[in-house]
A and B are shown apart, each in its own frame.
Chain A
Amino acid sequence: MTIYLDASASTKIDNEVLIEMRPFIEEEYGNAGSMHTSGLKAAHALNLSRKKIKEILNVDEVIFTSSGTESINLALKGYALKNKSKGNHIITTKIEHHAVLDTLEYLEKNGFEITYLDVEENGIINPKKIKEAIKENTILISVMHANNEIGTIQPIKEISKIAKGNNIIFHTDACQAGNSESLKDLDVDMLSLNGSKIYGPKGIGILCKKNSIRLEPLIHGGGQENKLRSGTENIPNIIGLAKALDIAQNNIGEYKKLSTLRDYFIQELLKIENTILNGDKNNRLPNNVNITFLNVEGEAILLMLDEKGIQASSGSACTSNSLDPSHVILALGMPYEAAHGSIRFTLTKDTTKEDINYVLKEIPEIIKKLRGISPVNLTLEEIKNV
C-alpha cells in the first residue's frame, strides 16, 4: 500500500490531460516551426494552448519554458538584466523557493542589491514591510503566492497595489497556488507557474507577463516564444499544461474542500506531545500540513514512514544537498533544534480520510520509537526560550 502525501513535490498526471497530450506524443510529432501540414498542426495546437491559458489567467503574454524554475529565472534575470538602467534594487522575502533565492543571489553577485524581508511568525509577509523597503532604485518585487513548505498564502493583491503605486514591476511565483487560488484577476506584472504541481506534465512551465515588460532572453537560438525562449516547442507538454490549468482553475471550490481533511489531520497530529504546526493555521494551502516533531530528526521519520508505505517530505538538512535545515522554518523564528524535525505532508486531491487515519495510526509509534532513542529531550517551552 502506498499513501502519497507529497503533492507539493509532484502530482499524478490527470487522465484527461494525458488523453489530450497523447496524439501529440504518438502521431503528431511535427515541429511548430515547419512549413508543412504536420508543422501547422503543431503550430495550431501551440496557439490554441496559449490562447486558452491567456483566457484562463487573463494575461497579455504567455511564454512557455521548461519548468517553474526556468520561468522564475527568466522573470528575474531577464527583467533585471534588461532594465538595469532603471535601477538595481530588488525586494523579496526570506521564504521564497530556492529558484527565486538562488537566482537573486546570482544577481547580487552581478551588481544588484537584494532586500530579503522577514515574514511574520505565521509565515506571512506584512505588506507594510514591502512598502518600507522600497527605494528610489527599486525595480522589481518578487513574492511567492503560496509557500511550498508551509503552504502559507501571501497577500498578493495588496503587494501588487503597492508595486503599482510605486511604479515597480511585481513578479509572483505561483507554482504552488494553481489548484486552490484563482489566478485570474491577480493583476500582477509577471507570474510563473509549472505543470507538475497541478496534475499536469513535468518539464513545462509558463511565464506570464504584461506586454509592456521587456526581458532579456536567457536561451538564445531559433527565436521561438517571441525571441524570449529559443528551443523547439514541447507541444505535448504545452497542451498538457493548458488542460491541467483549465481543470485546476475550474475546480478550485472542490479542491478547497481538502481543508476539512487537512484540519482534521493537523488537529490529530498536534495531540502527539511536543509538536508544533509550522505556518498559519488557516491561511495556508488546503492540502498543506507541516509539523515539527521535537527531538527527532526529519530524515529518520521519513524513512520509517516510507517503510510503512507513507510518502512525505521533510525540511531536514539531511534530505537536501545543503547541510542547513529549512530556511523557511528558520525564517519563522524557530530555533535550529526545532527545524530539524519538520515533516511536510501535502495531500493530493484523491487523499481520503482512511488514508489519513492510517497515517495517524502509524505515526505516533514512529515518533515514540525515535524519541526513545534520542538523547535530546527538549520541550515546547524550552524551544521558545532558545
Chain B
Amino acid sequence: MYDVQSKDGKEWFYTDEVKDHFFNPKNLLKTREEAEQCAKQASGIGEEGSPACGDLMKMWIKVKDNKIIECKWQTFGCASAIASTSMFSEMVKGMKIEKALAIKPQDISKELGGLPARKFHCSVLADKALRAAVNDHYKKTNQLDKIKEDKVKIIDKILKITDHDIEEAVLEGVRTFEELQKRTKIGVQDKTCIPEAEQLLRFYLEKYFNKKQ
C-alpha cells in the first residue's frame, strides 16, 4: 500500500487495476431503472454509509444453494469506492455466503494492487453492504438465527467511546494506542477500559492491515 503523497513518486496515485475498475466497473447497475428491475428479483438488498459522509453503497444479491450467484451494486462514492466494490462483486460471485462474508478489505485492496492508505476506508463499505444484503436475505427466507448485526459496544464508559469508534479510527490512520488516545481521548478518564481498548486496537489493525503490534 502506498500513500497519495508518497515517497515512491508514482505519477498516478491509483494503480492501473483501480483505474480499470473505476472506468469499467463490473456488475454495476447503470441506471435507476436497472436498479428497480434488479430489486424485484434480488434475494437480499443491503445499504451502508450515508450521503452526508460522502459514501453510500447499495448492494443487491441473488442467492442459490447458499451461494451468491449474483452481486449487483450502486454507489455514491469516490473512485476507490467504485473500484473496490467492482472488484469485490467479482470476487464474491459463486462463493458460499460464509466465505464471501469472510473477505477482508485488505483482500480487496490486494486484488486491486493496493489502495492509497487514506482511501482504505472506501473498500470497507462493500463488505458491510454485503453483510446487510445477506442479513436481508436471511430475514426474507426466515433464517433469523443466522443474522449477524454489528452490535455496538461501549468501551469507555465515561466518554461513551464504542468499539465502532476504535474501528473508524484505525481505518482513518490510527496505528498506536497513543494515536488512538490522542484522537478519541479514550481511557483518559475511564482508565479501566484501557486493556480492552488496546485489545480492540490490535484486533482491528490485524483485521484491516495484518499488522501485529
Q: 4 closest pairs, A vs B, by CB?
A: A318-B78, A336-B52, A375-B58, A299-B78
Complex CA gap A331/B75 in Å reads 26
Q: Is there an interface contact between B32 and A297, defined as CB atoms closer than 8 Å?
A: no
Q: Is there an interface contact between A374 and B54, defined as CB atoms closer than 8 Å?
A: no
Interface residue A335 (Cβ < 8 Å from any Cβ of B): yes
Interface residue B35 (Cβ < 8 Å from any Cβ of A): yes
Closest residue of A by beta carbon distance from B79:
A303
Complex CA gap A321/B56 in Å reads 20
Interface residue A376 (Cβ < 8 Å from any Cβ of B): yes
Complex CA gap A295/B28 in Å reads 17
Interface residue A35 (Cβ < 8 Å from any Cβ of B): no
CB distance from B61 to the nearest CB of A (A): 15
Q: Is there an interface contact between A296 and B76, defined as CB atoms closer than 8 Å?
A: yes
* Set of chain B residues within 8 Å of A318, measured between Cβ atoms: 54, 78-80, 119, 122
* Set of chain B residues within 8 Å of A372, measured between Cβ atoms: 30-32
Which residues 99-122 in B have Cβ within 8 Å of A in the complex? Answer: 118-119, 121-122
Interface residue A300 (Cβ < 8 Å from any Cβ of B): yes
- Of B55, B75, B78, B119, chain A has the most CB atoms within 10 Å of the CB of B78
Instruction: Pick 12 A–B contacts, CB within 8 A, sort by A.
Output: A297-B76, A298-B78, A299-B79, A303-B22, A303-B79, A307-B23, A318-B78, A323-B121, A340-B54, A373-B82, A374-B76, A375-B57
Render B1-36 as a binary contact track against A, CB cut-off 8 A, 1 for contact: 000010000000000000000110100111110010
Q: Is there an interface contact between B53 and A377, defined as CB atoms closer than 8 Å?
A: no
* Set of chain A residues within 8 Å of B54, measured between Cβ atoms: 297, 316-318, 323, 325, 336, 340
Closest residue of B by beta carbon distance from A307:
B23
Q: Is there an interface contact between B78 and A336, defined as CB atoms closer than 8 Å?
A: no
Interface residue A272 (Cβ < 8 Å from any Cβ of B): no
Which residues 350-386 in A have Cβ within 8 Å of B in the complex? Answer: 369, 372-378
Complex CA gap A377/B30 in Å reads 14
Q: Is there an interface contact between A335 and B52, defined as CB atoms closer than 8 Å?
A: yes
Render A163-183 as a binary contact track against B, CB cut-off 8 A, 1 for contact: 000000000000000000000
Interface residue A337 (Cβ < 8 Å from any Cβ of B): yes
Q: Is there an interface contact between A295 and B76, defined as CB atoms closer than 8 Å?
A: yes
Q: Is there an interface contact between A316 and B23, defined as CB atoms closer than 8 Å?
A: no
Which residues 272-305 in A have Cβ within 8 Å of B in the complex? Answer: 295-300, 303-304
**Known: A372-B31, A375-B58. Is A300-B52 also a contact (CB below 8 A)?**
no
- Residue numbers of A with Cβ under 8 A of B are 295-300, 303-304, 307, 316-318, 321, 323, 325, 335-337, 340, 369, 372-378
* Set of chain A residues within 8 Å of B47, measured between Cβ atoms: 375
* Set of chain A residues within 8 Å of B32, measured between Cβ atoms: 372, 377
* Set of chain A residues within 8 Å of B35, measured between Cβ atoms: 375
Q: A317-B54, A318-B54 are in contact. List 6 more A-B contacts (CB 8 A).
A: A295-B51, A316-B54, A318-B79, A323-B54, A335-B52, A340-B76
Complex CA gap A373/B78 in Å reads 12
Q: Is there an interface contact between B172 and A323, defined as CB atoms closer than 8 Å?
A: yes
Q: Is there an interface contact between B30 and A316, defined as CB atoms closer than 8 Å?
A: no
Q: Is there an interface contact between A336 and B56, defined as CB atoms closer than 8 Å?
A: no
* Set of chain B residues within 8 Å of A378, measured between Cβ atoms: 51
CB distance from B20 to the nearest CB of A (A): 12
Among A307, A316, A335, A375, the residue within 8 A (CB) of B78 is A316
* Set of chain B residues within 8 Å of A369, measured between Cβ atoms: 30
Q: Is there an interface contact between A374 and B75, defined as CB atoms closer than 8 Å?
A: yes
Interface residue B94 (Cβ < 8 Å from any Cβ of A): no
- Of B76, B79, B118, chain A has the most CB atoms within 10 Å of the CB of B76
Complex CA gap A303/B79 in Å reads 8
- Of A323, A335, A378, chain B has the most CB atoms within 10 Å of the CB of A323
- Of B30, B51, B77, B172, chain A has the most CB atoms within 10 Å of the CB of B51
Q: Is there an interface contact between B119 and A300, defined as CB atoms closer than 8 Å?
A: no
Complex CA gap A378/B77 in Å reads 15
Q: Is there an interface contact between A375 and B75, defined as CB atoms closer than 8 Å?
A: yes
* Set of chain A residues within 8 Å of B51, measured between Cβ atoms: 295, 336-337, 340, 376, 378
Interface residue B74 (Cβ < 8 Å from any Cβ of A): yes
Complex CA gap A318/B54 in Å reads 8
- Of B5, B25, B79, B82, chain A has the most CB atoms within 10 Å of the CB of B79
